[in-house]
Amino acid sequence: MSRILLVQHSSTPDGSAHSGLLLADGLREAGWTVHVAFGHEGPMRDAYAAAGHQPHLVPHSNWLRRAHTHQFVKDVWHEWAGAEAFVHLIDEVAPRAVYVNTAVSLAGVLAAHRAHVPCVWHLREMFADIGGELKAPRWALPLLRRLLCRCADRLVTNSAATARNMLAGRAPEARVVPNAVGERFYAEARAPAAARAALGLPAAGPLIGVPGTLRSMKGHTFFLEAVAPLLHRTEGLQVAVTGQGVPAVARRVKAKARALGLRDRVLFLGWVDDMAAFYRACDLVCIPSRAEPFGRTAIEAFAVGTPVVATAVGGLQEIIAEGKTGRLVPYGDASALAAALHALLSSPEQRRTLSRRARREAEEHYHAKRYKKTLVALVQALVDTQSTPAPASA
C-alpha cells in the first residue's frame, strides 16, 4: 500500500485543516496510507486520527509573518534548520510523495526536496500587499516566488487570485483547484426554526450570519459599521458571528459592537461545530473580508442554500456571480454593503432565487467528490511520472 505524508500546519478547525481532511480522506479511499504532520496540537489532530489517518507532531512556525529583514531572515533560517525534523519523519514513514497543504510549511517542502521525494505544495494564503496576512520584506518577494516555484514538483492554489498574489508572473505554473464542501452541508434539511433551536439562536426575527475566524483580514469592524444603521432601524434583526481567532482582534470587534450600541443585537457564538445548522438558521450570510484567498464559507452557505452577500475581493470574486449566485460589494463601501443586505432581507423571493442558483453552482463545482478525485489524480500522476525510468539514450 502506498504511503503519503501530508504536512498540515494548522490543527485548528479552519479552512486549511478541513480541506486537508477532505484530501486525506480521498487519498485513503484511493488506497493510500496517510500520515499527517501537524505544526502544533489542536482539535483537528483528533479528527484526522478518527478518520483513520496517522498523526505526527512536527513543530514548525509561520515563517511568513515578518516584514522586517532581521526577523524575516531569522525565521527562514529556523525553517531551514527545522527541515531536519521532517527529514527524519520522511525516513521513518518512507512516503512515495509529500503533500504540503499550506504556504507556511516551508520546512516540509525543503525536507522533501532534500530526501528526493516528489512534493506537491498547496498554497492557500496571500502576501500582505493586497490585504493578506503573510508578511515578508519587499526585497524578498521575488526571491520567495522563485523559491515557491523551484522547491516543489507541483504547485496548487485554491484560486486564481492566490496564484496571482503568491506567484505573480509565474502564476500559470500552478494548478488551480478550488476548495470543496463535504456531504453534510448538502444533506442539511432541517427547518430554519429547528436549526436555530439546535444552536440556541433567537426563534423569531431575521438573522444575518457572519462566519469565519476573528482575524483582521475578515473585515468584522467594517461589517459592524455598515450594518449598525440597519440594525437600529429594523425591528427584530440580529447578527450571529461565529469563530474565535486572534484574541486581540476578538476584543476589538466586541468593543466596536458595544461602541455602536449593538451589544444585544450581535451574538458572538465562538466555535460552532455544526456549521451546516448555522447556515440553515440564517436568512442570509455576509462575508465582509478585506482579503480572501478563496472564501470557503461562501461555498458552505451555497451548499446549504443560504444566500450570500460578500466583498468583491480575492477568491470571492471567482465564486460569486454578482446578482446570479449572490451579491458582491466593494470592500470599504459601507453604504453599498448595507443596501445589499437590506435588499435581500426585504425580498424573500430574491433570496430563494439566489439560493437555488448557488446550490447548483456548489454541486457542479465545489463538491467534495470532485475535489478528492482531482487531487488524488494529481498526486498519482506525479508519483507515476517520478517513478517512470527515463528512456535510454540511443
The DSSP secondary structure of 182-227, one letter per residue, reads -HHHHT----HHHHHHHHT--SSS-EEEE-S---GGG-HHHHHHHH
* 335 and 372 part of one domain: no
Residue 14 lies in a domain: yes
Res 393: pLDDT: 47
pLDDT of 47 above 80 = yes
55 is in which domain, residue-wise?
3-180+368-384
For residue 170, CA distances in Å to 95, 197, 379 come to: 29, 49, 21
Residue type, 176: V
Residue 40 three-state SS: coil
* 356 and 378 part of one domain: no
Question: Do strands 207-210 and 174-176 pair parallel, antiparallel, or not at all (unpaired)?
Answer: unpaired
Mean pLDDT of all residues in 233-241: 96
- Higher-scoring residue by pLDDT: 66, 390: 66
Cα-trace Rg, the chain: 22
* 150 and 189 part of one domain: no
* 104 and 241 part of one domain: no
* 206 and 163 part of one domain: no
> What is the DSSP annotation of 248-290?
HHHHHHHHHHHHTT-TTTEEEEE--S-HHHHHHH-SEEEE--S
CATH number at residue 281: 3.40.50.2000
pLDDT of 389 above 70 = no
Res 72: pLDDT: 80
Q: How far apart, in whole angstroms, are the C-alpha atoms of residue 239 and residue 151? A: 45
* 170 and 192 part of one domain: no
* 170 and 266 part of one domain: no
- pTM, rounded to two decimals: 0.92
pLDDT, tens digit, 9 for 90 and up, residues 139-164: 888 888 888 888 899 999 999 999 99
Res 388: pLDDT: 58
* 25 and 109 part of one domain: yes
pLDDT, tens digit, 9 for 90 and up, residues 284-341: 999 999 999 999 999 999 999 999 999 999 999 999 999 999 999 999 999 999 999 9
Which of 117-121, 128-132, 358-362 is least confident?
Answer: 128-132
User: How many degrees, rounded to 5, is the angle at CA 376 between CA 375 and CA 379?
Assistant: 85
For the chain, what percent of residues have pLDDT higher than 90?
75
The closest alpha carbon to 8, from 161, 159, 124, belongs to 124
Residue 391 lies in a domain: no
pLDDT, tens digit, 9 for 90 and up, residues 194-211: 999 999 999 999 999 999
* 272 and 286 part of one domain: yes
Residue type, 164: R
- Higher-scoring residue by pLDDT: 336, 129: 336
Backbone torsions φ then ψ of 157, nearest 5 degrees = -130, 155
Mean pLDDT of all residues in 355-384: 96
* 142 and 274 part of one domain: no
* 187 and 174 part of one domain: no
